[in-house]
Structure 1
Amino acid sequence: MQHTSTLLDIKSLLTVLRKQRVIAYPTEAVFGLGCDPDSEIAVQALLKLKRRSWQKGLILVAGHYAQLTDYIDESALDNTVRERIFSRWPGPVTWVMPAHPTAPYWLTGQYASLAVRNSAFEPVRRLCLAFGKPLVSTSANLTGMPPARTTAEVHDQLGVAFPVFNEVVEGRDNPSEIRDALSGDLIRQG
């Protein structure tokens, strides 16, 4: 039996996302696994696939800042913090911000904060804007394996039938830098 890889366009990926399933898509440095952040079913499927504890929390990636406002507590961001964030956005910087009181626990994990990124990478922006909201963003790899940087590597780890956005990564060497929005402190080097 011959298997063909599942490389999809945005329209097909939207159908998969609306069925509460997980997809792979290119980001700035590696392929990401993503799903509808409002679907506990989809997020639990992603966590099971990654063998990742819900307590660690997740990153959301958006095509525009407005897509993040339902998930973060904007009232906790003063002008200095906003200037710090927007001086680096859109771009490959993930900011850990206070979570909105209604942000789902399956996104925040054990924290009162949420990691979010407003990407400048065009395929991510197109996908999020077409979906109408941010996506969960975690590296596309199985526990203990290196993050996938090509569609072939995604299929090697997750199977040829796994739905993958048919685009390439931007080419950065490292995943996004992560910083605390309130303090500006570096959490992960990018």
Structure 2
Amino acid sequence: MITTSVAEAAACLQNGQVLAYPTEAVWGLGCDPFNEQAFYDILRLKQRPIEKGVILLAASISQVEHLLQTLPDTMRQQVISSWTNRTPTERATTWLLPAGEHIPSWIKGDHSKVAVRVTTHPLCVALCNAFNGFIVSTSANPAGLEPARSLQEAAAYFHADLNYLNGDLGLSREPSKIVDAESGEVIRA
């Protein structure tokens, strides 16, 4: 299915299906992070090992507030500021945060932390809000290939194996950088 309806796309996620959608810089694959079968469908499509973990994408700070609670105030403010004060052309930042007990083990892979990004991309914000929470966000490409940058490229990779929310990419030229919120180490520059 190809749709421009955010409500239809959110329903796909709620029904345990995988969805391809445009993000800030590349197309992503998403699912309900608490639906283990949907998550394994993404790994199968991408031919990605579970050990790597995936990013969770949220529409607002309130959707990830519980993951920020153990951070020192200055770091918490830095994380929030990177999400809320980003210009549309600026590269987004994904933060590795303490996962706590609420994040399924399959999301984290072999890691004790979870990768989280609060987006300002209007379509992603609408999708997370319609879904009523954060969603999985991993690049739309089989392992080792370039991430899709259009509906046509995503469909060429995955054909009818999933659903597509058609829309525009954001204005960022690169996928998000990834930073460990506790150590400050840049994981993906």
TM-score of the superposed pair, with normalisation by structure 2? 0.91
> When the two structures are aligned, how many residues end up with a matched partner?
183
Separation in structure 1 between the aligned mates of residue 42 and residue 161 of structure 2, nearest angstrom: 16
Partner residue of 1:23 out of 7, 19, 26: 19
Q: What do residues 99-151 of structure 1 show as CA deviations (whole Å, max 9, x unaligned)?
A: 11232101111111000000011111010011101110000011222100001
Identity %: 37
Between 126-135 and 11-20, the greater mean CA deviation after superposition: 11-20
The letter for the 1-side match of 2:71 is L
Q: Which residue of 1 aligns with 2:130?
A: 130
Q: Which residue of 2 aligns with 1:34?
A: 30
Contact 1:6 1:161 in 2 (8 A): no
Aligned-pair CA distance for 1:160: 4.6
Separation in structure 1 between the aligned mates of residue 34 and residue 162 of structure 2, nearest angstrom: 21
Between 164-173 and 122-131, the greater mean CA deviation after superposition: 164-173
| Unaligned 5+ runs, structure 2 | 87-91
Separation in structure 2 between the aligned mates of residue 118 and residue 142 of structure 1, nearest angstrom: 24
Contact 1:58 1:115 in 2 (8 A): yes
Report the 3-state secondary structure (helix = DSSP H, G, I; strand = E; otherwise coil) of the residue aligned with 2:28: strand
1:1-190 equivalence runs, <5 A: 6-70=2-66, 72=67, 74-90=68-84, 91=86, 92-160=92-160, 162-189=162-189
Cα RMSD over matched residues? 1.5
Separation in structure 1 between the aligned mates of residue 69 and residue 6 of structure 2, nearest angstrom: 34
Aligned-pair CA distance for 1:185: 2.3
| Unaligned 5+ runs, structure 1 | none
Aligned-pair CA distance for 1:161: 6.1
Q: 1:68 to 1:183 in 2, by over 3 A?
A: same
Aligned-pair CA distance for 1:162: 3.2
Q: What do residues 68-94 of structure 1 show as CA deviations (whole Å, max 9, x unaligned)?
A: 245x2x342011111211221134110
Aligned-pair CA distance for 1:156: 0.9
Between 80-89 and 117-126, the greater mean CA deviation after superposition: 80-89
Separation in structure 2 between the aligned mates of residue 75 and residue 173 of structure 1, nearest angstrom: 31
Separation in structure 1 between the aligned mates of residue 110 and residue 142 of structure 2, nearest angstrom: 22
Report the 3-state secondary structure (helix = DSSP H, G, I; strand = E; otherwise coil) of the residue aligned with 2:39: helix
